Structure 1
Amino acid sequence: MMNGVKHLPIEGLSQDKFDSYGRILTPSDGERPEVSEPEVFDFFLLFKMISSGWQIGYLTIQTKQVDSLERHPNTPEVFVPLRGKAAIIASNDPNEDTSLHAFHLREPVVLRAGVWHNVVHIAGEVSILIIEGVNVIDDYFALNYSIQCDESTR
């Protein structure tokens, strides 16, 4: 049974705030390239994992509210925003309301395996490139309320 709507402020995406869920897929200050050719290119290895294969998906989001979270206990998941404005909701323990956080999805991120999450539409036609392990396991957690993300200046 649903118990109303929980309004969750959307936080700015920073590695400090996002660290317990995963990492932003852009080089951080002080991070050195794996390979570099001066004045030609720098290649940063931001995430590495041995896998039996990857699958790439294209996600479109229309909803501004969600009433469930999902996780993939056996694989990390990459989200690459392509169009529109979206927020990613993340939690390490969905039984604890205070563990729910929403972040502007403005940069590519990788969620660690096992992080509970969902994505909501904020504005425009939202499309996101998804990369995950080919043998992904989906676990679902039904919330007893809906989550609506509200833009903020945090």
Structure 2
Amino acid sequence: MPTTEYLNGEDVTIEATFRKYPDWATSIVDHGAFLNQNSRYRNLLGVKNYSTVAWDLQNDGYATAPNYATSLINAIQDYDLQEWDQEAFTGNTGSTTTTTGNHRSGTYTFIQNSNIQTEPSLSAPIIGVYYPGDVVNYTGQIKAEGYTWL
């Protein structure tokens, strides 16, 4: 099938082979086996930080797009998929959220060190740190710079 790859600084359409699966679960199992059995991706095994995994995947050559890691991280954060990691790693969903209109509030339990900043920006001054196990009650969320800020 035709697919777009990024080669020598340009988007190029190539013909590539793709696998076909009878169902979603078989696809997921095969993808996990592919990453586990391919020595190029050994550095991913046991890593629990999705951002680190995304950057390692890009650096390992998993995708040719120069913005692959950023796109993957943004998708994870836009859809709160990191909460699945927390549940898988700890059995704890990590947060409870209530939604009223567009306003989300709830509690969040941190699973890794997270800086406390004066505003939702990576360049904002750091004024403290939340540590694994710390719980915060929040009254809103803001999506900025590819992150969800409480």
Structure holding more strand per residue: 1
TM-score if structure 2 supplies the norm length?
0.22
TM-score if structure 1 supplies the norm length?
0.22
Bigger-Rg structure (1/2): 2
Structure holding more helix per residue: 2
